[in-house]
Structure 1
Amino acid sequence: MFDTLRNILVDKLKVSPDLITAEATPEEIDLDSLAIVELSLVLQKELGIEISDDELTEAETVGDIVRLMDERSARV
């Protein structure tokens, strides 16, 4: 799931691939509030994973977002 998120961040949100690690914070990879909303929409549309922008905002690291994705995809 990390690779999936990484691809979305790079391809859709234009995040530099060098910045993306499991330990990176959203701020470190330049995910502002607008990008968080966009990420939420992309996850829903392309993967069928529903994670609200509020939940994404609360995630402290990229790894936390991956864990949310894993949890939600297991429910589908």
Structure 2
Amino acid sequence: MYEQIKKILMTSFNVAEEDFVEGATLDDLGLDSLDLVELSMQLETLGARVTDDEMVEAGRLDAVVALLESRLATTG
């Protein structure tokens, strides 16, 4: 799941490969509130819904990945 989200961030939001470090926050990746809305819509294509508000609350990329994985586990 991490790699799928990483690919979305790199292709749709121009996040550089070197920005993906352990503990990276969404802010570290240069995502603003409008980006989070767009990202939440793109993540739905992976099969589960995570809102932009939930992403803000999660704060870090690894937490967003975990949230999405838990949603997929409950919907699958």
TM-score (norm. length: structure 1): 0.90
Identical amino acids, percent of aligned pairs: 35
Partner of 1:73: 72
Question: What is the CA distance between 1:4 and its match in structure 2?
Answer: 1.0
**1:50 counterpart letter in structure 2:** R
Secondary structure of 2:67's match? helix
* Kept in 2: contact 1:50–1:72 (CA 8 A): yes
Aligned residues: 75
Query: Root-mean-square deviation (CA), in Å?
Result: 1.1
Please tell me the residue identity of whatever aligns with 2:54. Answer: E
CA distance in 1, matches of 2:48, 2:14: 21
Deviates more, 1:62-71 or 1:20-29: 20-29
- Specify the alignment match of 2:62 in structure 1: 63
Question: Partners in 2 of 1:70 and 1:57 — Cα distance?
Answer: 17
CA positional deviation for 1:48: 2.0
Which residue does the alignment assign to 2:28?
28
Show structure 1 runs of 4+ deviating over 6 A. Answer: none
Q: Secondary structure at the match of 1:4?
A: helix
